[in-house]
Amino acid sequence: MRKLAILLFSSVLLTATATAGQISSIGLILSPNLQGKIDGTFELQRGLFNQTSEVVTVSNAGPGLHQVALLRPLDVKSVKLRLTLKSAANLKDDLSESAVITGTLTPGKELRREGLEIVNEDLNAQLSCANVIASRIVGNQLEINLSRFANLTDCSGRDLPEFSHRFVGQRRIDDGSNWFSLADDEKMGREYTEKFIQENRDKILPLEHPTTRYMQEKMELIARYSDLPNLRPKVRVINADVLNAFALPGGYVFVFRGLMEKAPSEAALLGVLGHEWAHVTARHGTRGMTRTLKTLAVAVSIALATQVWAQVTDDKVQKLVLPLIGAGTLAGAQLRLLSKGREQELEADRLGSQYALLANYHPRGIGDMFEAFKREAGGSSSTLEQFLASHPNHDTRIGRNHVLAALFYPARPDYITNSQGFDHALAALTGQPLPQAAQSAQVAQSFVDGLRAQQEGIIVEQMKAHIGDLMRGRTAR
C-alpha cells in the first residue's frame, strides 16, 4: 500500500460557537460519500507553550459521527490532527492508496498559514484540504466536521485542476512556448498522414472497415469529453502486431491492431486513446519541437559567430544543424523530437484517464493497459516505446494511475469495462491476415523513421530562416 502524504499548512476554516474552554470529547463527522476509511490522531494541547495533554485516536472510521471521550475534561488551546484516508476505490484485488492530511485547529479562532505540498513517489502537487474542514465547540464537545469531503477532488489548491476531472475544458493545458499555430499542427499531421498512407496502403485498414469505424467512433467520444472538444480526430488502424497507438499534431491518430487485440479490456483501450488524445490537446509535439528549435537557435548563433555565408542553402543548413540534432544534447538540454519527455508522458496518462472517465469508461483502464504492457514485454518497454526515449517505467505509470483512481476519481458502479461494440470490432479482425512479427516491427519502425524525417525537415527549414536573418547584412567571404 502506497501512502500519499499531504502536508496541510493552510487556513483551516473554524466556525466557533463558544470560546476555547473545557472539552470532554471529540466528535468527528465524516461524509456519507466518503471514499474509504479514516484513521486519525488528535493531539490536544493546552497551556502557554501548547504542551500536549492527551492524544485521541480513531480507527477505520467510515461515514457518520464518531465520538471519543477524553480521559478527563481539558482546557484545549489547539489540536494537531493527522488524518489518513485509506481508499480502495476503483482498484482491484487487495490494492489501496492512502492520503495523509495534517494541520492544526484552534478552537474559537481561525488559523492562517500558507503553503501545502504533496510529495510522493507517484505524485507531486500542491493541494489544500482546508476548505473541507470545519470545527466548532458544541457544549463540551469539540466537533470536527469533514462532511464535505469524499476524496481529494473536494479539496482545493493550485494544482487541483491538473488532477481533477471536474476541470476538463476549463483549464489551460497547452501553456508554454510554442512557435507553431494550431493550423501548423493540423498541416503537419495531415501531410504526414497522407504520406504514410500512400507508402503503406496495404498495411492500413480501409475507412469502411468495421474496426476502423469503431475506432473513429471511440476517438470522437474521447475528444468530445476532452479539453479540445471541437477538434475532430481522424483515425486509421494499422494492421500490425504492435502494442501502441500514436496521435499526431492536429488530431491524426494511428492505432495498431496489436493494441486492440491484446488490450485486457475496452476500458484499457480507451485509456490509451485518451492518453494519445491528450498529446494532441496539450500540443506536446510542437511544444517539444519549439524547445528543440530554441536550443538549436542558441547553438547555431554561436557556431556562426565566426562564419559568413554568401548564400544560405539547404545543404549548408543540414550540415550545420543535423549533427547538432544527432548529438542529443546542446547546452545541457536534451533535444526531443519524437520523444515527448517523461513529464509529458505522465501528463498524458493523467489527462487521458480523465477523458476516459468522463466518457464513462473505468478510470483504472490505462493502468491495466500498462500492466499488460509490462507482462507482454517481461518488464521492458512495449514495442513502439523501444523506438522512443525518455518514457517513464511501467511501475511509475501504474502507480500514478492507481493514486488518481482511488483518491481523486469517484467510485461508480456503472463504469464501462467492455461492450458489444468492442467485441464486434475485434471479431471483424479475424478475417484480416496478420503480418509476421518482422513485418509488424518494420512498419512500426518506418512510422517512427518517417516522423523523425518530417520533423527534422521542419526544423531545418526553421533554422534556414533563422540563419538567413543572422547572416543578413554581413559581408560574404
pLDDT digits (tens, 9 = 90+) for 33-44: 999 999 999 999
What is the pLDDT averaged over residues 4-8? 49
Q: What is the pLDDT of residue 260?
A: 96
Q: Is residue 296 included in any domain, yes or no? A: no
Do 269 and 223 share a structural domain?
yes
Establish if 38 belongs to a structural domain.
Answer: yes
Based on the fold, state whether residues 101 and 224 are members of the same structural domain: no
Position 291 scores a pLDDT of: 83
- The DSSP output letter for 63 is S
Mean pLDDT, to the nearest integer, of 213-233? 97
Calculate the CA dihedral of residues 317, 322, 324, 326 and round it to 10 degrees. 180
139: left (phi over 0), alpha (psi -120 to 50) or beta: left
Instruction: List pLDDT tens digits, range 367-384.
Output: 999 999 888 876 444 444
> Does 100 lie in the same domain as 62?
yes
In this structure, the answer to whether residues 199 and 96 fall within a common structural domain is: no
Q: Does residue 128 belong to any structural domain of this protein?
A: yes
User: Is residue 134 one of the residues assigned to a domain?
Assistant: yes
Give domain status of residue 263, yes or no: yes
Query: Who has greater pLDDT, 329 or 464?
Result: 464
Amino acid type, 124 = N
> According to the model, what pLDDT value does residue 110 have?
44
**Secondary structure (3-state) at 343:** helix
* pLDDT above 70: percentage of residues in the chain: 80
pLDDT in tens, 412-441: 999 999 999 999 999 999 988 989 999 999
Residues 144, 80: one domain?
Answer: yes
132 — pLDDT class (breaks 50, 70, 90): confident
How crowded is residue 274: how many other Cβ atoms within 10 Å of its Cβ?
33
User: Would the pLDDT of 389 be above 60?
Assistant: no
Q: Considering only 138-152, 166-180, 316-330, which range has the smallest mean pLDDT?
A: 316-330
The pLDDT value given to residue 311: 64
Residue 173 lies in a domain: no
pLDDT band at 185 (very low <50, low <70, confident <90, very high): very high
Residue 471 has pLDDT above 60, yes or no: yes
Q: Is the pLDDT of residue 390 over 60?
A: no
* Confidence grade of residue 19 (pLDDT, cut at 50, 70, 90): very low
Q: Mean pLDDT, the chain, as a whole number?
A: 83
What is the per-residue pLDDT for 113?
38
Same domain, 106 and 191: no
**Which stretch of 146-155, 171-180, 203-212 has the lowest confidence by average pLDDT?**
171-180
Please indicate, yes or no, whether residues 193 and 129 belong to a single structural domain of this protein: no
- pLDDT above 50: residue 14: no
Q: Which of 159, 194, 213 is the last residue of a domain?
A: 159
**Where do we find the cell 463540551?**
140
Among 159, 193, 226, the domain boundary falls at 159
Per-residue pLDDT of 233-262, as tens digits, reads: 999 999 999 988 999 999 999 999 999 999
**Looking at the 3D structure of the chain, how many domains does it have?**
2
Identify whether residues 186 and 128 lie together within a single domain.
no
150 & 192 share domain: no
What's 201's DSSP letter?
A: G
pLDDT at 257: 96
Residue given cell 524525417 in the structure block: 453
Q: Are residues 47 and 119 in the same domain?
A: yes
**51-74 mean pLDDT:** 93
Domain containing 153 equals: 2-159
Output the DSSP codes for 211-260. HHHHHHHHHHHHHHTSS-TTPPPEEEEE-S--S-EEEETTTEEEEEHHHH
Alpha-carbon span 421 to 426, nearest angstrom: 9
Give pLDDT, residue 288: 84
Q: Are 86 and 132 part of one and the same domain?
A: yes
Q: Using 50, 70 and 90 to split pLDDT, how confident is the model at 3?
A: low
pTM comes to 0.86
Whether residues 396 and 271 fall in one domain = yes
In the prediction, which pLDDT does 453 show? Answer: 87
Domain-located, residue 190: yes
Indicate the residue among 159, 174, 208 that finishes a domain.
159
Give 385-388's long-range contacts (Cβ < 8 A, gap of 24+).
385/244, 387/338, 387/444, 387/445, 387/448, 388/338, 388/339, 388/448
Strands of the sheet containing 97-105, edge to edge, are: 51-61, 37-46, 78-87, 97-105, 2-8, 116-119, 124-125
Decide if 176 is inside a domain.
no
